[in-house]
Amino acid sequence: MNAVRTWAYRLIFYAGSVPIVGTAPISALFGRRAAINHALAWFTWHRWCTRWIVGIRVRVEGAWPSYPVLYAGKHQAMFETIEVARMLGGPAIVLKQELTRIPLWGYATRKYGHISVDREASAKMLRRMMAESAELKGEGRSILIFPEGTRVPPGEQPPLRAGFAGLYKVLKLPVIPVAVDSGLVWPRHGSKRPGVITIRFGDEVPPGLPREEAERRVHAAMNALETSRSRV
Protein backbone atom coordinates (compact mmCIF):
# COMPACT_ATOMS: atom_id res chain seq x y z
CA MET A 1 0.00 0.00 0.00
CA ASN A 2 2.85 2.40 0.77
CA ALA A 3 4.28 1.80 -2.69
CA VAL A 4 0.91 2.65 -4.23
CA ARG A 5 0.69 5.85 -2.20
CA THR A 6 4.23 6.79 -3.21
CA TRP A 7 3.63 6.32 -6.93
CA ALA A 8 0.29 8.12 -6.74
CA TYR A 9 2.00 11.03 -4.98
CA ARG A 10 4.74 11.19 -7.60
CA LEU A 11 2.29 11.10 -10.47
CA ILE A 12 -0.15 13.67 -9.11
CA PHE A 13 2.36 16.03 -7.48
CA TYR A 14 4.71 16.26 -10.44
CA ALA A 15 1.88 16.43 -12.98
CA GLY A 16 0.36 19.31 -11.05
CA SER A 17 3.75 20.95 -10.64
CA VAL A 18 4.35 21.21 -14.39
CA PRO A 19 1.94 24.12 -15.00
CA ILE A 20 2.85 25.79 -11.70
CA VAL A 21 6.60 25.64 -12.28
CA GLY A 22 6.24 26.31 -15.99
CA THR A 23 4.44 29.61 -15.37
CA ALA A 24 6.77 30.74 -12.55
CA PRO A 25 8.94 32.86 -14.90
CA ILE A 26 5.81 34.75 -15.97
CA SER A 27 4.97 35.66 -12.39
CA ALA A 28 8.61 36.61 -11.85
CA LEU A 29 8.24 39.33 -14.48
CA PHE A 30 5.99 41.19 -12.03
CA GLY A 31 8.61 41.41 -9.30
CA ARG A 32 9.67 39.81 -6.05
CA ARG A 33 6.29 39.66 -4.33
CA ALA A 34 4.62 37.99 -7.30
CA ALA A 35 7.44 35.43 -7.49
CA ILE A 36 7.10 34.66 -3.77
CA ASN A 37 3.31 34.25 -4.02
CA HIS A 38 3.74 31.92 -6.97
CA ALA A 39 6.24 29.82 -5.02
CA LEU A 40 3.84 29.69 -2.06
CA ALA A 41 1.16 28.27 -4.35
CA TRP A 42 3.54 25.46 -5.32
CA PHE A 43 4.50 24.89 -1.66
CA THR A 44 0.80 24.61 -0.79
CA TRP A 45 0.22 22.12 -3.62
CA HIS A 46 3.03 19.99 -2.21
CA ARG A 47 1.47 20.09 1.26
CA TRP A 48 -1.93 19.04 -0.10
CA CYS A 49 -0.39 16.07 -1.92
CA THR A 50 1.64 14.88 1.05
CA ARG A 51 -1.35 15.16 3.39
CA TRP A 52 -4.11 13.62 1.31
CA ILE A 53 -2.20 11.18 -0.88
CA VAL A 54 0.65 9.98 1.33
CA GLY A 55 -1.13 10.59 4.65
CA ILE A 56 1.54 12.74 6.29
CA ARG A 57 0.49 15.09 9.07
CA VAL A 58 2.71 17.74 10.64
CA ARG A 59 3.21 18.46 14.33
CA VAL A 60 4.79 21.84 15.06
CA GLU A 61 6.67 22.48 18.29
CA GLY A 62 7.87 25.94 19.25
CA ALA A 63 7.30 29.17 17.38
CA TRP A 64 9.11 31.50 15.03
CA PRO A 65 9.44 35.28 15.24
CA SER A 66 7.91 37.90 12.96
CA TYR A 67 11.25 39.67 12.40
CA PRO A 68 14.06 38.58 10.05
CA VAL A 69 16.23 35.71 11.27
CA LEU A 70 18.50 33.01 9.89
CA TYR A 71 16.75 29.62 10.01
CA ALA A 72 19.10 26.61 10.18
CA GLY A 73 17.24 23.39 9.41
CA LYS A 74 17.90 19.70 9.78
CA HIS A 75 17.71 17.97 6.40
CA GLN A 76 16.42 14.41 6.17
CA ALA A 77 14.06 14.63 3.18
CA MET A 78 12.80 16.86 0.40
CA PHE A 79 9.70 17.39 2.54
CA GLU A 80 11.11 20.02 4.90
CA THR A 81 12.79 22.06 2.17
CA ILE A 82 9.31 22.87 0.87
CA GLU A 83 7.17 22.64 3.98
CA VAL A 84 9.30 24.87 6.22
CA ALA A 85 9.47 27.50 3.47
CA ARG A 86 5.67 27.36 3.20
CA MET A 87 5.19 27.73 6.94
CA LEU A 88 7.52 30.71 7.08
CA GLY A 89 5.75 32.53 4.25
CA GLY A 90 8.53 32.35 1.68
CA PRO A 91 11.96 33.10 3.16
CA ALA A 92 14.99 33.44 0.92
CA ILE A 93 16.53 29.99 0.53
CA VAL A 94 20.10 28.77 0.18
CA LEU A 95 20.06 26.51 -2.91
CA LYS A 96 22.53 24.25 -4.64
CA GLN A 97 24.05 26.15 -7.57
CA GLU A 98 23.01 23.55 -10.14
CA LEU A 99 19.33 24.20 -9.34
CA THR A 100 19.71 27.88 -10.17
CA ARG A 101 21.07 27.05 -13.64
CA ILE A 102 17.91 25.33 -14.87
CA PRO A 103 16.56 27.36 -17.83
CA LEU A 104 13.66 29.66 -16.86
CA TRP A 105 13.49 28.09 -13.37
CA GLY A 106 16.81 29.72 -12.51
CA TYR A 107 15.40 33.09 -13.52
CA ALA A 108 12.35 32.52 -11.32
CA THR A 109 14.51 31.57 -8.31
CA ARG A 110 16.54 34.74 -8.71
CA LYS A 111 13.35 36.79 -8.68
CA TYR A 112 12.07 34.86 -5.66
CA GLY A 113 15.31 35.49 -3.78
CA HIS A 114 17.91 32.81 -3.24
CA ILE A 115 21.54 32.33 -2.25
CA SER A 116 23.42 29.86 -4.44
CA VAL A 117 26.05 27.51 -3.06
CA ASP A 118 28.37 24.96 -4.70
CA ARG A 119 29.55 21.67 -3.24
CA GLU A 120 33.21 22.70 -3.21
CA ALA A 121 32.60 25.60 -0.79
CA SER A 122 35.18 27.65 -2.66
CA ALA A 123 36.32 31.08 -1.54
CA LYS A 124 34.58 32.59 -4.57
CA MET A 125 31.34 30.88 -3.64
CA LEU A 126 31.55 32.10 -0.06
CA ARG A 127 32.07 35.68 -1.21
CA ARG A 128 29.05 35.41 -3.50
CA MET A 129 26.95 33.97 -0.68
CA MET A 130 27.87 36.88 1.53
CA ALA A 131 26.94 39.45 -1.13
CA GLU A 132 23.62 37.79 -1.97
CA SER A 133 22.68 37.33 1.67
CA ALA A 134 23.49 40.95 2.55
CA GLU A 135 21.22 42.13 -0.28
CA LEU A 136 18.34 39.95 0.90
CA LYS A 137 18.80 41.04 4.50
CA GLY A 138 18.50 44.62 3.28
CA GLU A 139 15.05 43.72 1.95
CA GLY A 140 13.98 42.49 5.37
CA ARG A 141 13.89 38.82 4.33
CA SER A 142 14.55 35.89 6.61
CA ILE A 143 16.94 33.29 5.19
CA LEU A 144 16.59 29.51 5.32
CA ILE A 145 19.66 27.29 5.14
CA PHE A 146 20.14 23.55 5.58
CA PRO A 147 23.72 23.74 6.85
CA GLU A 148 24.48 20.02 6.76
CA GLY A 149 24.57 20.44 3.00
CA THR A 150 22.76 17.23 2.05
CA ARG A 151 20.06 14.85 3.21
CA VAL A 152 21.07 12.53 6.02
CA PRO A 153 19.30 9.46 7.45
CA PRO A 154 17.70 9.64 10.91
CA GLY A 155 20.34 9.34 13.59
CA GLU A 156 23.19 10.92 11.64
CA GLN A 157 24.56 14.27 12.87
CA PRO A 158 27.20 15.55 10.44
CA PRO A 159 29.03 18.80 11.23
CA LEU A 160 27.76 22.07 9.82
CA ARG A 161 29.26 23.23 6.52
CA ALA A 162 31.41 26.36 6.40
CA GLY A 163 28.71 28.42 4.71
CA PHE A 164 26.66 28.61 7.90
CA ALA A 165 29.44 30.28 9.88
CA GLY A 166 29.98 32.77 7.07
CA LEU A 167 26.32 33.74 6.93
CA TYR A 168 26.08 33.96 10.70
CA LYS A 169 29.05 36.31 10.86
CA VAL A 170 28.05 38.56 7.96
CA LEU A 171 24.30 38.78 8.53
CA LYS A 172 24.47 39.39 12.29
CA LEU A 173 20.98 37.91 12.58
CA PRO A 174 19.56 35.71 15.34
CA VAL A 175 19.43 32.03 14.40
CA ILE A 176 16.40 29.79 14.83
CA PRO A 177 17.42 26.11 14.66
CA VAL A 178 14.82 23.80 13.08
CA ALA A 179 14.76 20.09 13.94
CA VAL A 180 12.78 17.54 11.91
CA ASP A 181 12.25 13.79 11.90
CA SER A 182 10.94 13.51 8.33
CA GLY A 183 13.31 10.67 7.45
CA LEU A 184 11.23 8.28 9.57
CA VAL A 185 8.36 8.38 7.07
CA TRP A 186 10.10 9.87 4.01
CA PRO A 187 13.22 7.76 3.42
CA ARG A 188 15.71 8.74 0.74
CA HIS A 189 15.15 5.39 -0.95
CA GLY A 190 12.01 3.32 -0.88
CA SER A 191 8.35 4.08 -0.28
CA LYS A 192 7.00 6.98 1.73
CA ARG A 193 4.75 6.10 4.67
CA PRO A 194 1.81 7.83 6.34
CA GLY A 195 2.56 9.25 9.75
CA VAL A 196 3.45 12.40 11.67
CA ILE A 197 6.46 14.58 10.94
CA THR A 198 7.58 16.81 13.78
CA ILE A 199 9.01 20.23 12.98
CA ARG A 200 10.54 21.81 16.07
CA PHE A 201 11.61 25.46 16.16
CA GLY A 202 14.34 25.81 18.77
CA ASP A 203 15.31 28.68 21.02
CA GLU A 204 16.88 31.71 19.39
CA VAL A 205 20.66 31.78 19.19
CA PRO A 206 21.79 35.43 19.39
CA PRO A 207 24.16 36.99 16.86
CA GLY A 208 27.76 37.83 17.71
CA LEU A 209 28.76 34.62 19.48
CA PRO A 210 32.14 33.00 18.82
CA ARG A 211 31.91 30.63 15.86
CA GLU A 212 32.44 27.48 17.92
CA GLU A 213 29.73 28.36 20.42
CA ALA A 214 27.21 29.37 17.76
CA GLU A 215 27.80 26.17 15.79
CA ARG A 216 27.60 24.04 18.92
CA ARG A 217 24.28 25.53 20.01
CA VAL A 218 22.71 25.41 16.55
CA HIS A 219 23.94 21.88 15.86
CA ALA A 220 22.55 20.60 19.17
CA ALA A 221 19.14 22.22 18.63
CA MET A 222 18.92 20.99 15.02
CA ASN A 223 19.50 17.47 16.29
CA ALA A 224 17.22 17.72 19.33
CA LEU A 225 14.76 15.20 17.91
CA GLU A 226 17.59 12.75 17.26
CA THR A 227 18.59 13.07 20.90
CA SER A 228 15.05 12.66 22.21
CA ARG A 229 14.51 9.52 20.10
CA SER A 230 17.69 7.98 21.44
CA ARG A 231 16.30 8.28 24.96
CA VAL A 232 13.06 6.50 24.20
**For residue 61, is it within any domain?**
yes
Torsion angle of alpha carbons 58, 64, 70, 74, nearest 10°? Answer: -30
Q: Mean pLDDT, to the nearest integer, of 175-198?
A: 94
Q: Which of 23-27, 100-104, 122-126, 141-145 has the highest mean pLDDT?
A: 141-145
Q: How far apart are CA 131 and CA 229, in angstroms?
A: 39
Between residues 218 and 188, the one the model is more confident about: 218
**For residue 4, is it within any domain?**
no
**For residue 15, is it within any domain?**
no
Q: Which pLDDT score is estimated for 210? A: 96
Q: Which pLDDT score is estimated for 232? A: 39
* 8 Å CB contact between 194 and 59: no
pLDDT of 107 strictly over 90: no
> Rounded to 5 degrees, what angle do the CA atoms 37, 40, 42 make?
120
Q: How far apart are CA 176 and CA 166, in angstroms?
A: 16
pLDDT of 228 strictly over 70: no
**For residue 13, is it within any domain?**
no
| φ and ψ at residue 126, rounded to 5 degrees | -65, -40
Q: How far apart are CA 145 and CA 80, in angstroms?
A: 11
pLDDT of 37 strictly over 80: yes
Q: Which of 69-73, 133-137, 156-160, 210-214 has the lowest mean pLDDT?
A: 133-137
**For residue 158, is it within any domain?**
yes
State the burial class of residue 118 (Cβ atoms within 10 Å of its Cβ: 0-12, 13-18, 19+): middle
**For residue 37, is it within any domain?**
no
Which residues have a Cβ under 8 Å from the Cβ of 212 and sit 6 or more positions away? none
Domain of residue 189: give its range.
56-230
Q: How far apart are CA 118 and CA 99, in angstroms?
A: 10
**Residues 226-229: contacts with CB under 8 Å, at least 24 apart:** 226/154, 226/155, 226/157, 226/179, 226/181, 229/154, 229/155, 229/181
Q: Mean pLDDT, to the nearest integer, of 22-32?
A: 88
Q: How far apart are CA 66 and CA 44, in angstroms?
A: 20
Query: 222: left (phi > 0), else alpha (psi -120 to 50), else beta?
Result: alpha
Separation in Å, CA 41 to CA 45, 85, 224: 6, 11, 30
Residue 142's CATH number = 3.40.1130.10
**pTM above threshold 0.95:** no
**For residue 32, is it within any domain?**
no
Percent of the chain with pLDDT over 70: 92
Q: Mean pLDDT, to the nearest integer, of 188-215?
A: 95
**Considering its fold, how many domains does the chain have in total?**
1
**For residue 215, is it within any domain?**
yes
